[in-house]
Amino acid sequence: MAAVASTGVDSRAAAPHVERLRYRVTWNSVPVANAELLIQPQPGSGRATSVLLRGRAETNEALDLLWQMRDSFEATVGLAPIAPGRFVLRQNENDRRRETTIVATPSRLVGTVERRHRRTRRADVARTSRLYDPASLAYLIRTLPPELEQRASYAVLVGTKIYDLTVAPGGTDNVDAAGRVWPERRFHLMLHLQPKDVESTGAVLTDSAGGRRDDQPQRELEVQEADLWISTGPERLPLRLSSSTFWGWVTVELVGRGAASNA
């Protein structure tokens, strides 16, 4: 997705039960896809020590005629503090198949990208307190305290590339989603689109709060921006994500919530 103390995490945000969240994706207000997220805390010593996340997204029949997507992911995220565990993303888009795996050890994050008819790509980087996989970083943002007043910077390993993400507070308001009005806190996300490629380099990142993590000269970065609305109640639900792209506005919005029946 300046810094906050430690991880800035409120451990109370971890869901105490299995939960299913359903989302609708629109492009310029036209529905194009549906997504679902399953959140399942993993108990240990009387309380959840990690959380299992399962998600899927698929385009609807209208968009399937032009571009078909059937993506899914599964991840284990450590709690208190939020930390990477294991992340697997399976991308099935038209005739393209790609599987990205990131596994955390006590000192390293190991990424693997497999594609049909292509060589397997690997990355092995040292862990730092600000380096995450996509799922653990998303869960961390969900648990950022509503009173966050300063921007926070993180790094995210996506396969064999590391991106910088800045999260800035964007104010409070109310959002109508999933049949009710939620008090929410908005965060502004800035993803820097010039990653550091760490394929098979054994790269070592620093824990410094600012600046580039390599020896490349400073230059203006291309940035993908988005706004994320998260409820301020104990649920800390991701309510809406909206981003402007070259083709128009893409919005992901919560449309349903309930306990999972087959977790």
Residue 124: inside a domain, yes or no? yes
Residue 201: its pLDDT value, please?
55
- Please give the pLDDT value at position 200: 74
In the chain, how many domains are there? Answer: 1
Which pTM does this prediction carry?
0.83
Question: Which run of H or of E encompasses 137?
Answer: helix 134-142
- Rounded Cα gap, residues 218 and 211, in angstroms: 8
For β-strands 152-158 and 131-132, DSSP reports them as parallel
Residue 212 lies in a domain: no
Structure tokens at 262: 């087959």
Query: What is the per-residue pLDDT for 18?
Result: 83
> What b/e sequence results for 206-227 when a residue is b if at least 16 CB atoms lie within 10 Å of its CB, and e otherwise?
eeeeeeebeeeeeeeeeeeebe
| 4 located within any domain | no
Candidates 135, 139, 131; CA nearest to 156 is: 131
Strands in 94-194 per DSSP E: 96-104, 108-115, 121-126, 131-132, 152-158, 161-177, 180-192
- Give helix then strand counts, H and E, for the chain: 2, 16
CATH number reported for the structural domain that contains residue 110 in this entry: 2.40.360
pLDDT (tens digit, 0 to 9) for every residue of the chain, 263 residues total? Answer: 333 333 344 444 444 578 999 999 999 999 999 999 999 998 765 677 999 999 999 999 989 999 999 999 999 999 989 999 999 999 999 989 999 999 999 999 999 999 988 899 999 999 999 999 999 999 999 998 877 788 999 999 999 999 999 999 999 999 999 999 999 999 999 999 889 999 875 454 544 434 444 444 434 458 999 999 999 988 899 999 999 987 889 999 999 998 765 54
The string of DSSP letters for 115-135 reads ETTSPPEEEEEE--TTEE-HH
262 located within any domain: no
Whether 89 maps to a domain, the answer reads yes
Answer whether residue 68 is part of any domain: yes
CB crowding 58-90: b at 16 or more within 10 Å, else e: bbeeebeeeeebebbbbbbbbbeebbbbbbbbb
Q: Is 6 inside a domain boundary?
A: no
The rounded distance, in Å, linking the Cα atoms of 83 and 162 is: 16
Q: Which domain holds residue 117?
A: 11-206+219-257
